[in-house]
Structure 1
């Protein structure tokens, strides 16, 4: 009886600790309590190391915080859009609240001196990125979540090595979990050529310092401070359709020229400082831009080192003002309560809400969690398609002809609240039209889910989805 009392006291203490620390995030609390119930001691140890609230650590915020001098230089050199009437879409004249939120929540300004190009799939993206790297004269800043030591990874390495040998500053940043299979020997040629590389939160130190749950999911390339890339594509053969199970890989990336590149540069330099403690400064990082286009673009960076949740806030605000359509492509759909409600209310109000998600998943647990929302949302009028040509990894949101988002963030809790992510918000009708064409093509390569048929799925599948839904805050 004494042992049972001790066990009960320990369990109550562990459960109480989780409830107290997670009172702001009820979904997280329920998920961790479920794990604690299954694995009483192990579950609490995992919680201690994986669920530490990163953003409360002042030292980390200072280390990766805003460089005020650099920010002032960016603001002085950028062509800023200061009024809703200056936006390319006339719809913004009636969206003053949204405009004000975007200016505040995104941290980076909305700039009006940009040109952009939508890159569809790995072939077009790699061709454009390699062309930019080969033309570099001053510096190459490259950040990726996944970096493979395969044919594609070695091709990128050889080009970076060659530019480093020519005297170009090369900095390569990769994530400790996303690139966990990568060996240090991969970087030998780059180091010998004078290039620099860094790992963002390596596995073992990250675990001991309780950072392992917070990953740098960004994919950023900045060349000479004038050309930038951001989107869903990492570096590896699978993005060229060479994955043996997933096959064809459907993705979306973005090429930018103009003042929006300042935003990408700032994000990279902050991440480099977080990973290395170094804050490199060079006038060539922020060159004056010759205005080649008139597109309005905003870079929105989100991460656990910020006090706000900029990506979540900007997307929620955009969804809330939709009048005609909300079209979303995402490989992982695990919304929080606010995003879920915004989509349901929009559909009930007559907005055309469509989501494209994978049919062939790269994670079955995430797929089951995604499908757990289908019945509920379809009953409100939301329509779901499953992509069947291969695996769809694009992260795109289109709201009316008002704006579109392309970037690294999925429509899930991890991207909203845990990962370091970067999205580009596009406001020009031509770029929105490009994304619309891709979306309509993806619909042709997808199969729409039908509510009656979906409700008749086996009980075993329903149980899997219910379990995945419960664990979804931790995925």
Structure 2
């Protein structure tokens, strides 16, 4: 999700452009016909494109209404935020490099063993839906909140001997960010290869002052789809929301936490920050390594010397793709979603929800589910399955927070229990099915994560982390307020209007 202040800046920029057009229309007689043609033609062209976009009908209708009622601003907003996802940078280089890389590592991909699929048949189903193979020898450790995550990350960075790969949607320039940056610099000076990849919009505040010490220490730095300026963003809608660290090809981290002081509860507005991350060891790290390298190759510049063979030729492949099985009593599997038609996480989540027999527990900071997921939650709750959803007690984005609360009444009617986290903000993106299957990753339960962002999540079947997540859920329930009808009846008409208004635009959030 984009920072609210950035959206406000972009919105006011569009308003200023609209005012400038009006001034031109009424003050420069010679330009009037030309500008009138543009003012009429732009919405018509954009509206035509929207009609044939392969997006959810709700999103299509919202954009059409925006273009109809605020023609110029609506058209410009669609160009910035609403276009159908497509790879639009250096397509030839991207296709060639990634294709050769994939061919070189084909034998390193995880194959689901019969023993795993016989015990967990759903792993085969998820694989057909686009997930990786399921591994029975990967160990996972649940990390609850920022202190546990950053302490473990810094400890493992210090122990690195060959390479460190870091990728984040949001990387701040504050105390904890500088501490991790300095740890990476230290390892690079010790001849450990360090690659640092950040999203070009999510980490917009990163400037040369922050990056220069990395470059001076021979850390390789790239931005994923960089933007020229946050006020002039025309690829804003399709961001890399993944969070990933791979160390020596043996240890990986992923989950809900970006890098910033707010994730340690130091942000005054939100206060305590509840989140969940995952530490991974074993063969599944190879799939996470593959994901990072593909993103890295895509982000590289045209004459970049960081080509596929530095990772996957005969010399380097054993250095980056390690096979070290760990003791495990379950199975793990990676699901990845990319902008466009790749909806692996959505499909996998739907399949797991349909297979639930006893319970579906969810934590999400943004409860803005696409219709198909909303319907599944309603059917599950009505049929007697224990469906519980934990959402923030305090929101970080005004629109999303109120759009989330719009769904409370609808879900309560279907026996879905809603918990508002009472220690302010919960940012964890987790799902627990029947107390046996867990999902921990970067995807929120909203349109953006299901359809527009690059996202990732790890499915776990009866691993030790599943029990750890179960215990974390119980604690979250205890620290939350259970929403009931007596609370909903206290809503003012003004509050209901705000929620309904935000809900109209929920497909765009």
TM-score in terms of structure 2 length = 0.85
Residue in structure 1 matching 2:165, options 123, 133, 141: 141
1:103-252 superposed matches below 5 A: 103-204=127-228, 210-252=234-276
Residue in structure 1 matching 2:124, options 75, 92, 100: 100
For residues 271 and 205 of structure 1, the distance between their equivalents in structure 2, rounded to whole angstroms, comes to 22
For residues 124 and 327 of structure 2, the distance between their equivalents in structure 1, rounded to whole angstroms, comes to 26
Quote the residue 2:362 is aligned against.
328
**1:339 counterpart = 2:373:** yes
- Name the SS for the 1:113 alignment partner: coil
1:2-401 superposed matches below 5 A: 10=41, 13-14=44-45, 16-22=47-53, 24-55=55-86, 59=91, 62=95, 65=98, 67-75=101-109, 78=110, 80-82=112-114, 85-87=117-119, 92=120, 96=121, 98-204=122-228, 210-277=234-301, 278-279=307-308, 280-281=310-311, 282-283=316-317, 284-304=319-339, 307-401=341-435
For residues 85 and 358 of structure 1, the distance between their equivalents in structure 2, rounded to whole angstroms, comes to 36
Kindly state the Cα deviation for residue 179 of structure 1 after the two structures are TM-superposed: 1.1
Q: Deviations over 1:303-359 (max 9, x none)?
A: 116x42111110111111111000000101110011001100001110000000001
Moved more, 217-226 or 35-44: 35-44
For residues 379 and 47 of structure 1, the distance between their equivalents in structure 2, rounded to whole angstroms, comes to 35
Kindly state the Cα deviation for residue 34 of structure 1 after the two structures are TM-superposed: 2.8
8 Å contact kept, 2:271–2:425: yes
Q: Paired residues, what number?
A: 462
8 Å contact kept, 2:441–2:458: yes
- Name the SS for the 1:372 alignment partner: helix
8 Å contact kept, 1:30–1:470: no
8 Å contact kept, 1:406–1:425: yes
8 Å contact kept, 1:144–1:219: yes
Q: Deviations over 1:213-251 (max 9, x none)?
A: 111111100000000010011111111110011111110
For residues 266 and 243 of structure 1, the distance between their equivalents in structure 2, rounded to whole angstroms, comes to 34
Quote the residue 1:470 is aligned against.
504
TM-score in terms of structure 1 length = 0.91
1:384-423 superposed matches below 5 A: 384-423=418-457
Quote the residue 2:23 is aligned against.
none
Q: 1:85 to 1:198 in 2, by over 3 A?
A: closer
For residues 191 and 327 of structure 2, the distance between their equivalents in structure 1, rounded to whole angstroms, comes to 28
For residues 215 and 356 of structure 2, the distance between their equivalents in structure 1, rounded to whole angstroms, comes to 49
Q: 1:68 to 1:176 in 2, by over 3 A?
A: closer
Q: Deviations over 1:359-388 (max 9, x none)?
A: 111012101111111111110111101001
8 Å contact kept, 1:18–1:32: no
Q: Deviations over 1:371-410 (max 9, x none)?
A: 1111111101111010011211111000113411000111
For residues 180 and 293 of structure 2, the distance between their equivalents in structure 1, rounded to whole angstroms, comes to 21
Q: 1:105 to 1:57 in 2, by over 3 A?
A: farther
Q: 1:52 to 1:71 in 2, by over 3 A?
A: farther
Quote the residue 1:431 is aligned against.
465
- Name the SS for the 1:109 alignment partner: coil
Q: Deviations over 1:141-178 (max 9, x none)?
A: 01011111111011001110010001111001111121
8 Å contact kept, 2:328–2:463: no
For residues 299 and 207 of structure 1, the distance between their equivalents in structure 2, rounded to whole angstroms, comes to 35
8 Å contact kept, 1:201–1:212: no
Moved more, 179-188 or 326-335: 179-188
**1:461 counterpart = 2:495:** yes
8 Å contact kept, 1:108–1:300: yes
- Name the SS for the 2:457 alignment partner: strand
Q: 1:380 to 1:120 in 2, by over 3 A?
A: same
Q: 1:86 to 1:134 in 2, by over 3 A?
A: farther
Q: 1:134 to 1:13 in 2, by over 3 A?
A: same
For residues 12 and 226 of structure 1, the distance between their equivalents in structure 2, rounded to whole angstroms, comes to 52
C-alpha RMSD of the superposition:
2.5
- Name the SS for the 1:301 alignment partner: strand
Q: Deviations over 1:82-131 (max 9, x none)?
A: 466543xxxx4xxx4x4433112234211111111000000010111111
Q: Deviations over 1:260-298 (max 9, x none)?
A: 101110111111111115434132110221434343111
Question: For structure 1, which runs of at least 5 residues remain unmatched after alignment?
Answer: none
Q: 1:63 to 1:395 in 2, by over 3 A?
A: farther
Moved more, 359-368 or 78-87: 78-87
